[in-house]
Structure 1
Amino acid sequence: MTNPQPDTVSPADPRRTLRAAVGALICVHAAMAATRVTASLLVLQQGYPEWTVGALLSLFAVAPLGLSLWAGRLADRHGLHRPLAVGVAMGAVGAAAAVLSQHPVALSFAALATGGAVAVAAVGIQREAGLLAREPSDLKRVFSWIALGPALSNALAPIIVGLLIDHVGFRAGFVFALLLPAIAWWLGRQVPRAVVTAPRAAEEDSRGRPRTAWGLLRMVSLRRLLLVNLALSACWDAHTFAVPVLGHARGLSASSIGLILGSFAVAATLVRLAISRWAEHLEERRALRRAMALATAVCVVYPWLPGVPGMLAGSALLGLALGSVQPMILSMLHQVTPSDRHGQALGLRMLVTNGATIVMPSGFGFLAALTVPAAPLWLMGSLVLGAQLAARRIEPAPG
């Protein structure tokens, strides 16, 4: 395996840099999560139908489709601070719009802006984190901490927003979201401003044409890695869809369904903490394939797990499997792509993931309606099993 080749001057204190980067990612992501929860509840409280909520939620994933590749080029060319500044500005403007007006049009704009903010900032932060690593085990450790950012924000933001809505009002939830980008910017300023040393010629091919992210798809290992990432992301979405549907069919209470979903999130968080501790003992491909095998097995048997205890155990096992793959995939992505184009590769990955997030839930709904509620899980288990071949054949870039 090749060691990552940084193209910026290394910061003096990598641990401090990593803490600041993770903190900034948590704040930007939490601003989006807080806006998402507050806007969803507000739309329902205003009497709009459930499909309106679904349409609003889909908007959070729309902006990343158009911004991810641009964010990757921006990060490769300017480092962390430029994309973080753009993400912070987008998050602040989106949340401010929701503070000023709770009309559905304003909420839709807030969804687009805060969703896009995460895409732009996350690509820059992930690229910066990769520069802190000096060997593959460092990559796994660094990205296990980076992966904790969305997990923690998704766990904490809804709780805080719920309390604010109950005790102050809906506008308070949006004000909370508005404050977070400012904190993210302050944390980002704690990261030393690196000098990008990659030559501008690296942005052109041998014929002098601009090198786009789509050109990276000529790399076979990257295509295989993105295929694996897509299958595992879809499996995550299938679990999120299937648990409420299966729970409702079994007559479970809302609190029980929430507890089952919570067990998945807790397991995903714990496994990422474990990876940060024992990263040097893990080999990416082997760990990835084992996680995929476990995910396949759980998807197949999940519909027959008995009662709440069975579903709790199944969700926790699936959380362990799927929670472990993001650090591995991000680590491998940095090894199969050129160091001067990591930002573009990260943007391409985010584009693929968000595209699946928009399409898959609707597809799961139609599939479950036409067949049985467990069908999405079985389908995703089959796809993950098929992706094992691609995972087995991923190789690091030469050099």
Structure 2
Amino acid sequence: MHGMRVAIPLEALAKGYSAFLVGFLVAMFAIVPALLAIAFGRFTDRCGYHLPVRLAAALSLVAGLCLAMSDSLLALCIGAACSGAGSGFGMIAIQRTASKMASSAATRLQIFSWIAIAPSLAGLIGPLLAGVMIDQFGYRQAFAILAIPPLVTLFLSQRVPREELKKPLANGSSQPRRVADILRILPVRRLLFINWAVVASWDVHGFVVPILGHQRGFSATEVGAIFAAFGLASIVVRLLLPLFVSRLSRKYLLLASLGLAALSLFIYPFLELAWMISICAFSFGVALGSVQPAILATLHEVTPSERHGETLAVRSMFTQGSMLAMPLLYGAVGASLGAALLLWGMVAALSAASWQVIRLYPRSVDLPSGE
């Protein structure tokens, strides 16, 4: 999916499509998961891992093959939609199953720390693979090569142990499932707000860095190095976190991460040199790279086990919705008030998220083991 997010806009621009159409194609990656995540989450709760992940891989495979055979605007739309859906749905199935494999709260956090490495590595490998393949062979061949990873998923998924699923009641007396039931759980609402603040700050960072670089006269290479520092930090912290997770308090891990993220965004506007901003981007990557595993682990502990897939889908729906709506808000606010106020607004949001962390973890249950 990361490779597709580079290749599809590049081909659209190469074909002379307008900026509006390019933006529409980028939005297509998020719109299907945002609309259908709840249905897929419930489907995953009913069917377990294998059938949902096969469906997700099939969607990603369709994306690659469709674009390998056609360069039409319709093919680009189908490719973006299927690729975004495959990635989003696949992560719901994978994260739900990873939680089921955990024997304790500490193990669950460790597992999610390992799982979180994959998106970070994909963020580096996918765009690099797409770019090299496009330059060497062209767009059709690049899309064909991007269809290979879903095939690998289909092969490796067979090695995942099968889950014994609970059968639904035969008398039909079970209550209908409603998303509102999950949202009524106070810790879930707090976790969703914390997750939104993290996703929104991630997005605002990607929106503001090119603006600051342009204002300060940075070259494209310097701006790219800033993003590379951020990506490298998220990979490093997710590689190291599983080694120390059993000794960390989840509450203070989240507080430290959100505090470091807020501090990084606060000082961004005061930095004038590219290497200074790169160091700040690295610290910001360390902060955000530490947050997701703790959020996912806690989310599974405060919701019924038979609704973990649906709960992950609710989180995905809010995340994808934010990725659709927030860039429009950033554009409006950034144009009228400036990049600095936009960053400081996210500092306030991260501070509010820190307060929710304090209320989420009482002193008696803030250890990774849940004791």
- The alignment's TM-score, normalised by the length of structure 1, stands at 0.88
Aligned to 1:134: 103
Is 1:296–2:262 an aligned residue pair? Answer: yes
Inter-partner Cα distance in structure 2 for 1:314 and 1:375: 18
Aligned to 1:28: none
Aligned to 1:255: 221
Q: Deviations over 1:14-38 (max 9, x none)?
A: xxxxxxxxxxxxxxxxxx2222211
- 5 Å matches for 1:240-251? 240-251=206-217
| Equivalent residue letter for 1:369 | A
Moved more, 105-114 or 374-383: 374-383
Aligned to 2:4: 35
Q: Deviations over 1:39-89 (max 9, x none)?
A: 111111111222322221111010101221112112211111111011011
Give 1:376 deviation, angstroms.
Answer: 2.2
| Equivalent residue letter for 1:56 | L
Contact 2:3/2:128 (8 A) holds in 1: no
Q: From 282, 306, 329, give the equivalent of 1:316.
A: 282
Alignment RMSD, CA only?
1.7
Aligned to 1:375: 341
Is 1:49–2:15 an aligned residue pair? Answer: no
| Equivalent residue letter for 1:251 | G
Aligned to 1:209: 175
Aligned to 1:221: 187
Is 1:89–2:61 an aligned residue pair? Answer: no
Aligned to 1:266: 232
Inter-partner Cα distance in structure 2 for 1:132 and 1:260: 37
Contact 1:137/1:282 (8 A) holds in 2: no
Inter-partner Cα distance in structure 2 for 1:213 and 1:89: 27
- 5 Å matches for 1:1-399? 32-196=1-165, 198-201=166-169, 208-395=174-361
Give 1:201 deviation, angstroms.
Answer: 4.2
Q: Deviations over 1:335-375 (max 9, x none)?
A: 11111211111111111111100011111111111111223
SS of the aligned residue for 1:102 comes to: coil
Q: How many residues align?
A: 363
Inter-partner Cα distance in structure 2 for 1:35 and 1:267: 23
Inter-partner Cα distance in structure 1 for 2:80 and 2:341: 30
Runs of 4+ aligned structure 1 residues displaced above 3 Å come to: none
| Equivalent residue letter for 1:246 | L
SS of the aligned residue for 1:306 comes to: coil
Inter-partner Cα distance in structure 2 for 1:172 and 1:367: 40
Contact 1:88/1:117 (8 A) holds in 2: yes
Give 1:220 deviation, angstroms.
Answer: 0.4
- The alignment's TM-score, normalised by the length of structure 2, stands at 0.94
SS of the aligned residue for 2:40 comes to: helix
Give 1:111 deviation, angstroms.
Answer: 0.5
Inter-partner Cα distance in structure 2 for 1:338 and 1:64: 22
Inter-partner Cα distance in structure 2 for 1:77 and 1:323: 31
SS of the aligned residue for 2:339 comes to: coil
Gaps of 5+ in 1: 1-31
Give 1:212 deviation, angstroms.
Answer: 2.5
Give 1:98 deviation, angstroms.
Answer: 1.0
Inter-partner Cα distance in structure 2 for 1:375 and 1:82: 46
SS of the aligned residue for 1:210 comes to: coil
SS of the aligned residue for 2:109 comes to: helix
Aligned to 1:7: none
Inter-partner Cα distance in structure 1 for 2:308 and 2:174: 20
Give 1:199 deviation, angstroms.
Answer: 4.3
Contact 1:267/1:317 (8 A) holds in 2: yes
Give 1:187 deviation, angstroms.
Answer: 0.9
| Equivalent residue letter for 1:65 | A
Aligned to 1:29: none
Contact 2:216/2:272 (8 A) holds in 1: no
Inter-partner Cα distance in structure 1 for 2:328 and 2:40: 27
Contact 2:57/2:154 (8 A) holds in 1: yes
Gaps of 5+ in 2: none
| Equivalent residue letter for 1:78 | C
Inter-partner Cα distance in structure 2 for 1:34 and 1:176: 10
Q: Deviations over 1:232-256 (max 9, x none)?
A: 1100001011111110111111111
Contact 1:34/1:173 (8 A) holds in 2: no
SS of the aligned residue for 1:357 comes to: helix
Moved more, 128-137 or 209-218: 209-218
SS of the aligned residue for 1:216 comes to: helix
Inter-partner Cα distance in structure 2 for 1:146 and 1:194: 19
Contact 1:74/1:82 (8 A) holds in 2: no
